[in-house]
Structure 1
Amino acid sequence: MKRILLGSALGLLLATVLALALALQGQALLPPAAEVQSGDVARAKDFLKRNDPRRVEGNPQRLVTISEADLNLLLGQAALYSHAGAAQLRLHPGLADLRLSLLVPKLGLWLNVQARLRETGRLPEFEHVKVGRLPLPAWLANWVLRAALLRLPPEQDVQFAKDLIRHIGFGEQYAQVKYQWQADSMARVMALVWPAPEQQRALAYHQALAQVAAAYPVYAHVSLARLLPPLFDLARQRAKGDVTLMAAENRAAILTLALHASGKSWAILMPAARAWEPVRPLVVTLAGRDDFPQHFLISAVLAIEGGGPLSDAIGVYKEVADSRGGSGFSFNDIAADRAGTRFGLLAKTSPAKLQVAMSTGLQERDFMPDVADLPEFLSAAQFAQRYGTVESEGYKAQMAEIEARLDGLKLWR
């Protein structure tokens, strides 16, 4: 009996080792995703505007069509953000071919997945799956997927998706999602995005900013350098040396300041904040201007939430849009965007360093370069005549000058 048990155990061990050897590979199946471009941002903005569920009255079903290119852009940015690898979809009538490369960090090996999903009455199912060189039965892959969904924390996320999505279908280079937007859907979305601990964290920084703002007259002009230290001092106290908490506290502090500098409050993001005592309105300034703090802080938020490349692309997109009928293309706005992106990435990836730097009393010149001599208010025609496109050598030289100025500042050394 012991020999039978030992033989079975050894057989299982060998089967596991063999399966891992077949599943794991030394190279990724897919190259890293390309960084998002300003044109992608324009397309995404138009898509969100056309498909905003808040504009729908009553309780209707909606059908959203998403192109294969846009889906792959989303997958690519998610992979870049999570540092997990890369993913790619190819869509055909009733079918979706998925390729996925996931890095296994401790082993330095890749989990490469090739799968075909088949459209069904509601949600797609696997038709066949191959992990590395190891084929998996479709029934097993579908069972694993269902089991994983049941165990994903928190359970209300999965339940909300089930209640919302009615059908996912595939066409030639496009997908369609039919969903049921209900009366409580927005409240459920906000509850998922801002769970109770996040709401409590936001309230702490809202109250801290209210206390700071109370020392100034209404609509007083106040430098961002005067508002950052007290909020980051609170971040340091609340984190208590925990690096994970430091990043979360930094994020909440920056979000609070970004909302206030833009004339908004937490109430636009979370319904519970509507009951909070309002903060005395201030005009937040940077280099004597009230637009720079918005560029700086919004770019910092984007860097925290979506990574630096996304923030850069949105900054360039806005300036290009401005040159076509807005305030004009401004390299000094781009400099504020780039400074904010660096600030956000530092808050996220080196949170302790930023908190220590804030405790030493940073001045504006320590994190925002002098931009008074940079070209601004360029119309589309002026920009085209002077620089051509954002891919030109002249434009790249101007951007390199901005980066050089940032490199010389105290916070980035």
Structure 2
Amino acid sequence: MRRLFAWLAVILLLPVLAAAAAVVAAIDGKPLVERSDAISPIAVAQVRRLLANHDPRHQQAGAVDSVDIPANLIDEGINYVAGRFLHGRGDFALTDGTGQARITVVLPGRYFLNVTAALQPVDGKPAITRASLGKLPVPAALANYLLSKAIAASGFGSEWQLALDAIQDIQVNPGSGMVTVTYQWEPQILDRARAVALSPDEIRHLHEAHQSLAALLAHRAPGSPITLAEILHATIPADTDPVGHGRAALLVLASQLARIDLAGLVPAAKTWPRVRWVMISLGGRHDLAQHFVVSATLAAWSGEPVADAIGLYKELDDARHGSGFSFIDLTADRAGTRFGELLVKKPEALMTRVRSGLQDGQLLPVFSDLPEDLHQKEFRQRFESPDSPQFKALSREIERRLDSLPLYQ
């Protein structure tokens, strides 16, 4: 009888032991991917070129086209998604006609969940052909099933299926570092993207923020000056849902400063009241208000890496083709990024400070001694590149000045 009980105990414990062994095999003591969450200006330039050459607003229904996507852009995209939504890190590389994706998620107790997946075209569609969790191999069929379920659970199942249906073929080209995707364009893809970009609550917040800004400026003379601090003090604070309200206020203000019609994102905005054009300034300069607000909006909606990357790309592009690289503009970018991050991470603290009154000097540190108008030749002579010790030293000085402001402490 004792043997019988022992045998039954072993049978009952087997599933538990197997599950425990699987957990042990899946969890690692070291991260597989270690990198920063920064996005390079190169990636921003690549996205701009792809959108310019394949603008979805100008695609004809049923038209077949091909797009070459750089592997390094996919790499930075995976790292951004891993950092933004999983608080981890990720990477991607092409080897022998296969895309290799890796993601590391930090677990409590300094343990790590390392996920690897080999991606290859199967019948012209992207598919996982090999996967593992730590040392635990995962059957390809199960990995693809879990991926589809995860996408469906996130609420993007129908959009994912639309994208898959549009893809006609995929070619992996390790030699050129490109993944070539041939697709048949369907306008539903853009319609669905617009529909899921903003929730009903976010659209309601945008409507309220738009009305608030229009009312604030309605009695001012067209083109009259107003400081950014005044506008933020009047439009940002909120008693309920401060993050949602604040993000909407920033997006409305960014659209006004950049002269972008919100109706392109929210069709209903066509009927919203017109916001009077006034001269919004920060530190006495209109361009610094633009830099601050656009960066704050990007940080609040997409995260700090996106805001920093776009700000740096803009200055490098100005050095080549525009007014020249400006560390003053970069300071306004970083100040705006910090403001947007503060809104998302510590909204109550931000609301308290904004309600107490704002002045330009609280948003932006002293900047008049920072170099600007550096065209490409002069920029290279003085700073070489964003990776040089000289550039990094000045960047640290900008961060030190921002750290000295109570708002960003």
Separation (CA, whole Å) in 2 of partners of 1:373 and 1:170: 49
**Unaligned residue ranges in structure 1 (runs of 5+):** 240-245
Residue 188 of structure 1 deviates from its aligned partner by: 1.9
Q: Which moved more, 1:83-92 or 1:206-215?
A: 83-92
Q: 132, 147, 168: which one pairs with 1:145?
A: 147
Q: 22, 33, 43: which one pairs with 2:25?
A: 22
Deviations 1:185-234 (A, max 9, x none): 3222111112322211111111111111113122221111111112122x
Q: 330, 339, 344: which one pairs with 1:343?
A: 339
Q: 237, 248, 253: which one pairs with 2:239?
A: 237
Residue 62 of structure 1 deviates from its aligned partner by: 2.2
Change (3 A) 1:48 1:5: farther
Question: SS where residue 238 of structure 1 aligns?
Answer: coil
Answer yes or no: is the 8 Å Cα contact 1:367–1:410 preserved in 2.
no
Change (3 A) 1:29 1:207: same
Answer yes or no: is the 8 Å Cα contact 1:152–1:158 preserved in 2.
no
Query: RMSD of aligned C-alpha atoms?
Result: 2.5
Partner of 1:74: 77
Q: 197, 202, 208: which one pairs with 1:204?
A: 208
Separation (CA, whole Å) in 1 of partners of 2:98 and 2:368: 55
Q: 12, 15, 18: which one pairs with 2:15?
A: 12
Q: Which moved more, 1:80-89 or 1:17-26?
A: 80-89
Separation (CA, whole Å) in 2 of partners of 1:154 and 1:127: 22
Partner of 1:47: 50
**Unaligned residue ranges in structure 2 (runs of 5+):** none
Q: 192, 215, 227: which one pairs with 1:188?
A: 192
Q: Does 1:390 align with 2:386?
A: yes
Q: Does 1:85 align with 2:88?
A: yes
Q: 99, 119, 122: which one pairs with 1:117?
A: 119
Deviations 1:343-387 (A, max 9, x none): 111111111111111110111111112323332222223333443
Question: SS where residue 251 of structure 2 aligns?
Answer: helix
Change (3 A) 1:260 1:131: same
Which structure 2 residues correspond to residues 9-408 of structure 1 after superposition, within 5 A?
Answer: 9-33=12-36, 35-92=38-95, 94-104=97-107, 106=108, 108-172=110-174, 173-233=177-237, 236-239=238-241, 246-408=242-404
Partner of 1:243: none
Residue 7 of structure 1 deviates from its aligned partner by: 5.3
Change (3 A) 1:46 1:14: same
Question: SS where residue 76 of structure 1 aligns?
Answer: helix
Separation (CA, whole Å) in 1 of partners of 2:397 and 2:118: 48
Change (3 A) 1:167 1:222: same
Q: How many residues align?
A: 403
Separation (CA, whole Å) in 2 of partners of 1:37 and 1:382: 22
Deviations 1:272-302 (A, max 9, x none): 2122222122221112211111100111122
Answer yes or no: is the 8 Å Cα contact 1:219–1:282 preserved in 2.
yes
Answer yes or no: is the 8 Å Cα contact 2:230–2:358 preserved in 1.
no
Q: TM-score w.r.t. structure 1 length?
A: 0.88
Answer yes or no: is the 8 Å Cα contact 2:35–2:89 preserved in 1.
yes
Deviations 1:328-353 (A, max 9, x none): 22222122112111111111111111
- Percent identical pairs in the alignment equals 33
Residue 323 of structure 1 deviates from its aligned partner by: 2.3
Equivalent AA in structure 2 for residue 267 of structure 1: A
Change (3 A) 1:128 1:336: closer
Q: Which moved more, 1:154-163 or 1:307-316?
A: 154-163
Deviations 1:66-96 (A, max 9, x none): 1222211211222232353222333346533
Residue 247 of structure 1 deviates from its aligned partner by: 2.3
Question: SS where residue 115 of structure 2 aligns?
Answer: strand
Separation (CA, whole Å) in 2 of partners of 1:148 and 1:410: 41
Deviations 1:25-80 (A, max 9, x none): 11112222462233332233223322222232343122222122221121122223
